[in-house]
Amino acid sequence: MVPIRPSEITPEHVYLNRRKFMAGAGALAGAVALAACGPSLPTTGEGATAAEAAPEAAAAASAVPLEDLPPALAHAEPFASQQTDELGDPLNAYDEITHYNNYYEFTTDKQGVARLAEKFHSRPWTVKVGGLVNNPKTYDVDDLLRKFPQEERIYRLRCVEAWSMVIPWVGFPLAELLKEVEPKSEARFVRFRSIFRPDEMPGQQARWLEWPYTEGLRLDEAMHPLTILATGMYGKLLVNANGAPLRLVVPWKYGFKSIKAIVEIDLVEKMPVSTWMAAAPNEYGFYANVNPNVDHSRWSQATERRVGELGRRETLMFNGYEEEVAHLYDGMDLRANF
């Protein structure tokens, strides 16, 4: 295992002392929210097109060649800076994480995704960020790697199917990207869309789900410091089976909220209808918060199976991030807003 220098990763207190981290991050979130919803700042204007915004991205792209990956990703072997999460739970192995996936764009077979995704082309890749923003932009994904400092975030992932993992993601806060495009005051939600490429993603040839995959967050959820856009894990770029080159990670929500292979991010006024809401609205709500007290319509959510472990363990409210995110839902009926 290659040792990692402190300068290459998220500051130690971020993952070793989450309480301390969140105290600072909460203040940051407040500042970010004010910036996002406050009066308009100098911008390129609503009419600025993605093409007009692209030169800035192109300039950033020329600064550093892709071969010089950000420090948090530039490692020869998959590794993480820690062996456990902040609760003391061991990380799942790299092979477990990359070979056991729900990724219905390829197949419903969790252990078949990696093979089917091998030939998927995740470069070149651009992400269009627009909608109710003052400064729409189109980013090359490699620009994002260079532009935003890449951090390691060791998060628990809880699937709605009641299996779970602990994953050392690499990525950057979604809030940093949203600040750049300057959401307008009427923006309330963020809608994400994945790529539609049925010739490379055989699962998209099936019609039992609407494609492209669509997901959404409330704006304050999207701006929360725990919400990241992941570009890698274990000090490596994301592999195709895990949503390369860019996926959403919201650790207090069920895994299906973490849309993969993102190509569009739009700020909108009305709550988006996500793919699973459209498919089965009685089973998959918009919020999808991990909640052991609200069962899925066909199974209990009280316990979960950690991949690689025998037996089951109790599921934690908000996947163990209750202290950080419960206030986002003050006054809400979490049974009605599941």
Give 249-287 pLDDT, tens digit per residue. 999 999 999 999 999 999 999 999 999 999 999 999 999
CA separation for the pair 280, 138 (Å, rounded): 32
Model pLDDT for residues 1-52, shown as the tens digit of each residue: 333 333 334 433 333 333 333 333 333 333 333 222 222 222 333 333 333 3
CA separation for the pair 225, 248 (Å, rounded): 13
How far is the CA of 241 from the CAs of 2, 96, 116, 126, 238, in angstroms? Answer: 24, 11, 8, 19, 8
In this structure, is residue 216 part of a structural domain? yes
Q: Which residue's entry shows tokens 């725990």?
A: 226
In this structure, is residue 295 part of a structural domain? yes
- Residue 268 sits in a domain whose CATH number is 3.90.420.10
Side chain identity, residue 171: G
In this structure, is residue 17 part of a structural domain? no
Reported as a pLDDT band with limits 50, 70 and 90, residue 316 is very high
Reported as a pLDDT band with limits 50, 70 and 90, residue 246 is very high
Checking DSSP bridges between strand 126-131 and strand 214-218, what pairing results, if any?
A: unpaired
pTM of the model: 0.82
Check residue 123 and give left, alpha or beta (phi > 0: left; psi -120 to 50: alpha): beta
Q: Into how many domains does the chain fold? A: 1
268: β partners: 189
In this structure, is residue 188 part of a structural domain? yes
CA separation for the pair 84, 310 (Å, rounded): 18
Q: Is the CA virtual torsion 26, 28, 31, 37 positive or negative?
A: negative
pLDDT at position 71 is 86
In this structure, is residue 87 part of a structural domain? yes
Model pLDDT for residues 79-101, shown as the tens digit of each residue: 999 999 999 999 999 999 999 99
Section 187-213 average pLDDT: 97
Lowest-confidence segment of 20-34, 99-113, 169-183 by average pLDDT: 20-34
In this structure, is residue 110 part of a structural domain? yes
Sheet holding 214-218, edge to edge: 137-140, 126-131, 262-268, 189-194, 214-218
Which carries the bigger pLDDT value, residue 52 or residue 74? 74
Q: What percent of the chain has pLDDT over 90?
A: 77
pLDDT at position 62 is 37
Lowest-confidence segment of 11-20, 109-118, 201-210, 215-224 by average pLDDT: 11-20
In this structure, is residue 19 part of a structural domain? no
Q: Find out whether 109 and 101 touch, Cβ atoms under 8 Å.
A: no
Side chain identity, residue 204: Q
> In this structure, what is the dihedral angle of CA atoms 215, 22, 294, 110, given to the nearest 10 degrees?
50
Q: Find out whether 130 and 123 touch, Cβ atoms under 8 Å.
A: no
Token pair in block for residue 141: 């994904």
Side chain identity, residue 176: E
Binding residues: 101, 104-105, 159, 194, 242, 247, 258-260
pLDDT at position 298 is 95
Binding residues for Mo-molybdopterin: 101, 104-105, 159, 194, 242, 247, 258-260
Contacts 24+ apart (CB under 8 A), 141-144: 141/231, 141/245, 141/246, 142/61, 142/66, 143/57, 143/60, 143/61, 144/172, 144/177, 144/229, 144/231, 144/246
CA 76 to chain centre: 24
CA separation for the pair 263, 45 (Å, rounded): 22
CA 140 to chain centre: 17
In this structure, is residue 288 part of a structural domain? yes
The domain containing residue 290 runs over which residues? 66-328
Count Cβ atoms below 10 Å from residue 91 Cβ, excluding itself.
Answer: 21
Beta strands in 288-332 (DSSP E): 303-306, 313-314
1: β partners: none
Q: What is the enclosing helix (H) or strand (E) of 192? A: strand 189-194
Q: Find out whether 259 and 244 touch, Cβ atoms under 8 Å.
A: no
Tell me how far apart the terminal alpha carbons of the chain are, to the nearest angstrom.
41
